[in-house]
């Protein structure tokens, strides 16, 4: 299965209440990320204000920041390669990236939390 990584711009609070208007794109995307996890997709998000080291340690992300600046975020990587930049993907696009049929509805039976790695540990902190 393919792994998605989303590199968010520096958000003071990811709820977005600090803007003069709530960014609907952020609201929708958060819901879509939840959905993708629910149907078994592998996706991680990183906030520039809180995990800048993750940005610095990834050569693709670092080069992107040097080229486009933080204004170019968000950046979406698919198995380490740039899949999209400058906007958040839609649910359909997320499903396509992850290789999951977007027909899977929210009511589908969630895939049990058996994540890869072979070591039996869960989530991204694996090994």
Partner 1 sequence: MIMKFLEQAPRFLFFTGKGGVGKTSIACASAIRLAEAGKRVLLVSTDPASNVGQVFGISIGNRITAIPAVPRLAALEIDPQAAAQVYRDRIVGPVRGVLPDAVVKGIEEQLSGACTTEIAAFDEFTALLIDSTLTREYEHIIFDTAPTGHTIRLLQLPGAWSGFLEEGKGDASCLGPLAGLEKQREQYKAAVDALADGSRTRLILVARAQQGTLREVARTHEELAAIGLQQQYLVINGVLPKIEAENDPLAAAIHERELAALNAIPDVLKELPLDKVELKPFNLVGLDALHQLLTESAPLALDSADEPLLFDEPHLSDLVDGIAAEGHGLVMLMGKGGVGKTTLAAAIAVELAHRGLPTHLTTSDPAAHLTETLIGSLENLTVSRIDPHEETERYRQHVLESKGAKLDAQGRALLEEDLRSPCTEEIAVFQAFSRIIREAGKKFVVMDTAPTGHTLLLLDATGAYHREVTRQMGDKGMHYTTPMMQLQDSKQTKVLIATLAETTPVLEAANLQADLRRAGIEPWAWIINTSVAAASARSPLLRQRAANELREINAVASQHAQRYAVAPLLRNEPVGVARLLELAAG
| Cβ-based nearer residue to partner 1, 99 or 123 | 123
Question: What per-residue string of b and e applies to 91-101 under the rule 16 or more CB within 10 Å gives b?
Answer: bebbbebbebe
Q: What's the min distance (Å) between Cβ of 12 and partner 1?
A: 5
- Other Cβ atoms less than 10 A from the Cβ of 67: the count is 8
| Cβ-based nearer residue to partner 1, 79 or 123 | 123
- List residues near partner 1 by CB under 8 A: 10-22, 24, 27, 30-31, 45-53, 55-56, 62, 65-66, 69-70, 123, 125
**Cα–Cα distance, 59 to 49 (Å, whole number):** 18
| Cβ-based nearer residue to partner 1, 1 or 63 | 63
Q: What's the min distance (Å) between Cβ of 94 and partner 1?
A: 16
- The answer to whether residues 9 and 70 touch, using CB atoms and an 8 Å cutoff, is yes
Q: What's the min distance (Å) between Cβ of 102 and partner 1?
A: 18
DSSP 17-32: TTSSS--HHHHHHHHH
């Amino acid at each position: 299965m393919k792994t998605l990584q989303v590199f968010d711009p520096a958000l003071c609070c990811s709820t977005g209440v600090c803007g003069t208007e709530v960014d609907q794109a952020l609201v929708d995307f958060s819901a879509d990320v939840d959905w993708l996890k629910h149907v078994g997709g592998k996706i991680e998000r990183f906030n520039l204000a809180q995990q800048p080291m993750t940005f610095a340690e990834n050569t693709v992300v670092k080069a992107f920041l040097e080229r486009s600046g933080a204004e170019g975020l968000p950046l979406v990587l698919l198995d380490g390669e740039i899949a999209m930049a400058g906007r958040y993907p839609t649910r359909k696009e997320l499903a396509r990236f992850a290789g999951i049929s977007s027909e899977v509805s929210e009511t589908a039976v969630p895939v049990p939390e058996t994540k890869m790695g072979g070591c039996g540990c869960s989530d991204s902190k694996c090994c």
